[in-house]
C-alpha cells in the first residue's frame, strides 16, 4: 500500500520539476531579451549619432517633375547616413516665401540645407547670418559669397535647344522663357537668342512664365501671333505648351523644350514634342546630398561646382539604353 502511495507522488514531482524548468527558461528568455534590446539600442544610438539632418527646399515640392531628383536625394541620404527632410512647399509666388522657409530650416534642427533658388538675388533667398552649409541646385545666384552648387550648364543647354530648332528648319520662333528671376533661366534665354539671331531666324515673341499664364487665358493670342516653332526653357512651360497645342486646332507648333515629366515623355513619344533637353536630375539629387554631407561633417569652407549633364532626347532615341538610364534611374 505504501509503495502505491509513493508511486502516486512521482507525477506531482515531475509536474513541479517541469514548472521549475519552464520558469527558468522564461527567466532566461527575459534576460536574453533585455540584453538584445540593450544591444539594439546601443547600436541605434551609435547610428543616430552618426546621422546628420539635411532639409531640401524646392518650388512646388510635390510636382512629379521632381521624381528623379527625389529618388537621387533618397539614395544619397541612405548611402551617406542622412536624415532627409524634403520640405513640403506649394508654388512660390515670390522669393520672400522661399526665404522664410529656408531661414526656418537653418534656424531649426537641420545641419544644412539644399535649395533651388527661386530668385538669383542672394540676399532675398538666403539669410546672411547662418553659418550652416547651403548647397544650391538647379540654378545659381548673383553674389560674392561662395556656395557649393550642383547644376546644368545653362548656356550649353540653351545652345543645344537652338541647334535642334535650326536643324528642324524653323522660320519663325516663339520662346517660353520660364522664371526669369532665376540666373539659370536668363542664361538659357541669352544662349537661345544669340544662336537663333546668328542663324537669321526670326523671334516673334518671348514670354516669361507669368506672361504665359496671362496669355493662356486669352485663347486668341497664339492664333493671332502665329509661329511655326516654340522653344520652352523649363519643364512646366513645356507642359503648358503641349496643352495649348492639344486644345487649339489652329496651333501646329514644332515644340522643343526642357523637361522630363511623364507627361512630356508621353507626348514626345506621340510626336507632339520634337525634342527634349533632359538634365540628369537623379545625379543632381544624389550629388547634392553627397556634397552637403561632406560640408557638414568636415566643417569645410571648400566650395565645389558639380556639373549636371543633360541629354537631347527625341522619339528616335527615346528607347535607347542610355536614354532610359536617365529617364528612369534604377534605385538600389
Residue 157 has phi, psi (to 5 degrees) of -65, -45
pLDDT at 46: 46
Which region among 5-9, 153-157, 172-176 has the lowest average model confidence (pLDDT)? Answer: 5-9
Per the prediction, the chain carries an average pLDDT of: 86
String of DSSP letters for 140-199: --B-SS--EEEEE-HHHHHHHHHHHHHHTT-SEEEEEEE-TTSHHHHHHHHHHHHHHHHT
What HEC string does 12-41 produce?
A: HHHHHHHHHHHHHHHHHHHHHHHHHHHHHH
Over residues 300-332, the pLDDT tens digits come to 666 788 999 999 999 999 999 888 888 888 655
pLDDT at 6: 42
pLDDT at 124: 65
Handedness of CA 243, 70, 289, 287 (dihedral sign): negative
- Residue 94 CB neighbour total at 10 angstroms: 11
Q: What is the pTM of this model?
A: 0.80
Beta partners for residue 136, in sequence order: 115, 149
Which region among 2-6, 155-159, 260-264, 299-303 has the lowest average model confidence (pLDDT)? Answer: 2-6
Over residues 266-288, the pLDDT tens digits come to 999 999 999 999 999 999 999 99
Which region among 167-171, 214-218, 241-245 has the lowest average model confidence (pLDDT)? Answer: 214-218
Q: What is the mean pLDDT of residues 95-110?
A: 90
Over residues 42-54, the pLDDT tens digits come to 444 444 568 999 9
Over residues 7-38, the pLDDT tens digits come to 444 555 555 566 566 666 667 666 766 566 55
Over residues 174-223, the pLDDT tens digits come to 999 999 999 999 999 999 999 999 999 999 999 999 999 999 988 789 99
pLDDT at 8: 46
Over residues 60-77, the pLDDT tens digits come to 999 888 999 999 999 999
Q: Using alpha carbons, select from 258, 309, 269 the residue that is nearest to residue 287.
A: 309
pLDDT at 122: 67
Amino acid at each position: 500500500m505504501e509503495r502505491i502511495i509513493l508511486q502516486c507522488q512521482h507525477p506531482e514531482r515531475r509536474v513541479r520539476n517541469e514548472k521549475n524548468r519552464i520558469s527558468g527558461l522564461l527567466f532566461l528568455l527575459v534576460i536574453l531579451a533585455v540584453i538584445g534590446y540593450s544591444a539594439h539600442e546601443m547600436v541605434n544610438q551609435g547610428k543616430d549619432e552618426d546621422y546628420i539632418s539635411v532639409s531640401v527646399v524646392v518650388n512646388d515640392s510635390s510636382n512629379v517633375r521632381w521624381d528623379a531628383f527625389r529618388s537621387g536625394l533618397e539614395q544619397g541620404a541612405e548611402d551617406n547616413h542622412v536624415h532627409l527632410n524634403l520640405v513640403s512647399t506649394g508654388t512660390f509666388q515670390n522669393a520672400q516665401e522661399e526665404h522664410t522657409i529656408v531661414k526656418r530650416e537653418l534656424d531649426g534642427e537641420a545641419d544644412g540645407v539644399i535649395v533651388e533658388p527661386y530668385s538669383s538675388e542672394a540676399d532675398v533667398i538666403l539669410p546672411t547670418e547662418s553659418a550652416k552649409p547651403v548647397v544650391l541646385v538647379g540654378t545659381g545666384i548673383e553674389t560674392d559669397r561662395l556656395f557649393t552648387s550642383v547644376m546644368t550648364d545653362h548656356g550649353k543647354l540653351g545652345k543645344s535647344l537652338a541647334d535642334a530648332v535650326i536643324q528642324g528648319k524653323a522660320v519663325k520662333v516663339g520662346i517660353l522663357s520660364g522664371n526669369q528671376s532665376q540666373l539659370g533661366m536668363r542664361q538659357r534665354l541669352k544662349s537661345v537668342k544669340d544662336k537663333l539671331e546668328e542663324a537669321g531666324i526670326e523671334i516673334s515673341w518671348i514670354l516669361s512664365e507669368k506672361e504665359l499664364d496671362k496669355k493662356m487665358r486669352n485663347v486668341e493670342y497664339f492664333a493671332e501671333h502665329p509661329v511655326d516653332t516654340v522653344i520652352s526653357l523649363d519643364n512646366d512651360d513645356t507642359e503648358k505648351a503641349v496643352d495649348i497645342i492639344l486644345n487649339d486646332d489652329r496651333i501646329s507648333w514644332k515644340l522643343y523644350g526642357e523637361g522630363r515629366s511623364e507627361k512630356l515623355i508621353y507626348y514626345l513619344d506621340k510626336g507632339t514634342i520634337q525634342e527634349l533637353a533632359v538634365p540628369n536630375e537623379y545625379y543632381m539629387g544624389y550629388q547634392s546630398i553627397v556634397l552637403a554631407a561632406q560640408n557638414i561633417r568636415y566643417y569645410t569652407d571648400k566650395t565645389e561646382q558639380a556639373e549636371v549633364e543633360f541629354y537631347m532626347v527625341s522619339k528616335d532615341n527615346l528607347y535607347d539604353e542610355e536614354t532610359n538610364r536617365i529617364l528612369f534611374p534604377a534605385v538600389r
